[in-house]
A and B are shown apart, each in its own frame.
Chain A
Amino acid sequence: MADIRPKSAKAEMLLWSFGRVLFGAIGCLWLLFLVAPLVIVVAVSFTSANYLMFPPPGLSLQWYAEVMQLSWFRSSLISSFLIAAVSTAIAVVLGVLAARALSKRSFPGHMLMEYLVLSPLLLPGVVMGFALFNVLVLLHMEALGLPNLIVAHTMITLPFVVRSVWSTMAGSDASLEEAAHSLGATPLKAFRHVVLPTAMPGIVAGAILAFTFSFNDVTVSIFLASREAGTLPVELMADLEYSANAAPAAISSLMIVLMLLLFMAVVRLGGLKAFVNH
């Protein structure tokens, strides 16, 4: 047999190690660009000054105390939570059913349903929001606020749930369900005891995506939020326009912490364990 080692083995080896170093360097840079702005925002939020400045001249919690006094902060935080929780719940239920239908053998209208469910992923949020707003004006329902936001957020987060549940369902062994049937499980019981647990990693992942997307959304919500039902990001945007102090930085820091807590809670609840198990 011929020697498969080329003359340039040394050079290739060098290139290979260089490639790995380069890869690591890009990774570090990426992390730096991602984390650095966040670090600055968090640092600024603890400033003792009355204006924005980095690095902060001194440390204090005054802006957090200030933020807690803001009535729009408290009400919009509650609205955001409510909207994200309810729309995620609805999106999960609808998404699981849609994914189930899509993952079964093809039926008439399969393609249509696929496009319909996934289209919000492709449309820009501004377009979605603007279109929805126009429809609501036509129906004289634009002042409803909260319900409008919930419906809109369900629409835009549904594709996330469908996508991730569908892929877990499509990848799962169809004979599991047949095994359940042979053991006496009706379709409903097989769904509850076999289909749902098998799809659980996808459901959890989809729900996390849906919740965070809803909680963070500005582009769609800005068209639909009313004074009584403004979401936190929308109110924050509005506030940023005329405030030059560090209150928005404090709110941003709080949102970062909230998202971190959410992920940790999900991990605690076994979300990640479900990922690892399969």
Chain B
Amino acid sequence: MTDMTSPAGTGPAFAVEMRDVSKVFGETTVLDRISFDIRPGEFVTFLGPSGCGKTTSLRILAGFEQATSGDVRINGQSVSDMPPWHRDIGIVFQSYALFPYMTARDNVGFGLKMRRVPKAEMAKRVEEALKLVGLSGLGDRYPRQLSGGQRQRVALARALVIKPQLLLLDEPLSNLDAKLRNEMRYELKRIQRESGITTVFVTHDQEEAFSLSDRIVLMSKGEIKQAGTSREIWEKPRTGFVADFIGVDNLLPGAVEKDGDELVVRISPSVTLKTEICDFAPGSAVLVAVRAKDVILNPVADETATGLNVFAGNIIDVEYRGERCACRVRCEGIDQTLVALVASSHVPSGAVTLSFASDAVMVLTDDR
């Protein structure tokens, strides 16, 4: 790619470009050829299980860690030789990393002090930043005199006040209780939208990722499994790992077979599943994913039921999930139990019939 600027000529087309970035610590490969672009103003989330390399990616962007190979560009400029203090990046650490011997105001003003912003302007910008995060009036407090949520806001204000090119957030909400986390999530989104700063957010909480992000990068063991909007990932998980991670309840290993003109997936010697789309050749080992919400539970046992993906079974367990209940059903000829959702007001028991349409059957690679 030679053209680095957008058609309108308003600057680089991408705020961040990662090209085949790898990171090796001693023997272990922590990042394996990560490639990814972030558009200016975008809110992107790195999502993945613990140890998959999210923090390492952030640290490479911030300049605290050097990529073993590959290229990182920020606003079109390669940053491999640029030390962290020249990168103009705001960071909120998981531990907040507030300077303990400085007041909230001095913490927020630190970046401006380093940039030799005149005193009067500095005071004004610090107050603005404190107001933006809803902390006006608490500027004289030391970090130890602030609650977890307030500390997090100070950390956010400190990162925002320098108007960085890029904002990096490493699980900033994970230390907060559920209620505060929801509030801060909303605040974060509002502040990011108002400031328009390109933001990379790291989390292992899929719900957090889905509610905040313009785009999600789902990682596993140092690789990107899927990148896309929340909706894309939710509706079309590309691999078994993604389906598992976003919480698809029914995951059944199987093999593709030819049945006349169509391809079906055999999940046990006696059971095959019909599907609409199957991109695999006959004989491939695959993972079938069916959402619990797509499984229709008929509370009467219908022994004679045949046809597309219909199974007789018995409810062995019911898990309360608020409005809905998840019924775990053991079906004949299937090793794994299947999960179906029913309204909590009418929970059946005993023998039932399960069915799901062939377009609810997602056939994916098994890369869990």
Tell yes or no: A60 within 8 A of B by CB.
no
Residue of B nearest to A172 (CB): B100
Q: Which of A182, A187, A200 sits near B89, CB closer than 8 Å? A: A182
CB–CB B62/A183 < 8 A: no
CB–CB A175/B97 < 8 A: yes
CB–CB B62/A180 < 8 A: no
- B-side contacts of A176, CB under 8 Å: 97, 99
> A178-B84, A182-B62 in contact; A193/B100 too (CB < 8 A)?
no
Complex CA gap A180/B91 in Å reads 10
> A189-B114, A193-B110 in contact; A181/B101 too (CB < 8 A)?
no
The residue in B83, B111, B114, B158 that gathers the most chain A C-beta atoms within 10 A of its C-beta is: B114
CB–CB A184/B162 < 8 A: yes
CB–CB B100/A278 < 8 A: yes
Tell yes or no: B124 within 8 A of A by CB.
no
Tell yes or no: B280 within 8 A of A by CB.
no
CB–CB A183/B93 < 8 A: no
> A193-B110, A197-B101, A278-B100 in contact; A183/B95 too (CB < 8 A)?
no
- B-side contacts of A175, CB under 8 Å: 93, 95, 97
Q: Which of A178, A183, A184, A198 sits near B64, CB closer than 8 Å? A: A178
Which residues of A from 230 to 266 have beta carbons under 8 Å from B? none
Which residues of A from 211 to 241 have beta carbons under 8 Å from B? none
Complex CA gap A184/B87 in Å reads 8
Contact with A along B82-98 (1 / 0, CB 8 A): 01111111110101011
Complex CA gap A183/B114 in Å reads 7
Secondary structure of the A side of the interface? helix
Complex CA gap A88/B106 in Å reads 31
Chain B interface size, as a band, is: 20 to 34
Q: Which of B90, B99, B101 sits near A182, CB closer than 8 Å? A: B90
Tell yes or no: B115 within 8 A of A by CB.
yes
Residue of A nearest to B59 (CB): A178
Complex CA gap A217/B90 in Å reads 51
CB–CB A185/B114 < 8 A: yes
CB–CB A183/B110 < 8 A: yes
The residue in A176, A178, A181, A200 that gathers the most chain B C-beta atoms within 10 A of its C-beta is: A181
> A175-B93, A178-B64, A193-B110 in contact; A186/B99 too (CB < 8 A)?
no
Residue of B nearest to A193 (CB): B110
Q: Tell me the smallest distance from the CB of A191 to a CB of chain B, in Å.
A: 12
Which residues of A from 194 to 214 have beta carbons under 8 Å from B? 194, 197-198, 200
Q: Tell me the smallest distance from the CB of B81 to a CB of chain A, in Å.
A: 15
CB–CB A181/B85 < 8 A: yes
Which residues of B from 111 to 132 have beta carbons under 8 Å from A? 111, 114-115
- B-side contacts of A3, CB under 8 Å: none
Q: Which of A173, A184, A186, A194 sits near B111, CB closer than 8 Å? A: A184
Complex CA gap A187/B85 in Å reads 9
Which residues of B from 145 to 162 have beta carbons under 8 Å from A? 158-159, 162
Which residues of A from 138 to 179 have beta carbons under 8 Å from B? 173, 175-176, 178-179
Complex CA gap A200/B102 in Å reads 14
- B-side contacts of A181, CB under 8 Å: 63-64, 83-85
Complex CA gap A182/B111 in Å reads 8
Complex CA gap A178/B92 in Å reads 11
CB–CB B97/A179 < 8 A: yes
Complex CA gap A153/B318 in Å reads 76
Report B's interface with A, CB cutoff 8 A: 62-64, 83-91, 93, 95, 97-101, 110-111, 114-115, 158-159, 162
Report A's interface with B, CB cutoff 8 A: 173, 175-176, 178-187, 189-190, 193-194, 197-198, 200, 277-278
A sample of 10 inter-chain contacts (CB < 8 A) reads A178-B97, A179-B158, A181-B84, A181-B85, A182-B87, A183-B114, A183-B162, A184-B86, A185-B114, A277-B100
The 10 A-B residue pairs with the shortest CB-CB distance, nearest first, are: A183-B111, A184-B114, A175-B97, A179-B97, A181-B84, A182-B91, A175-B93, A181-B85, A185-B114, A197-B101
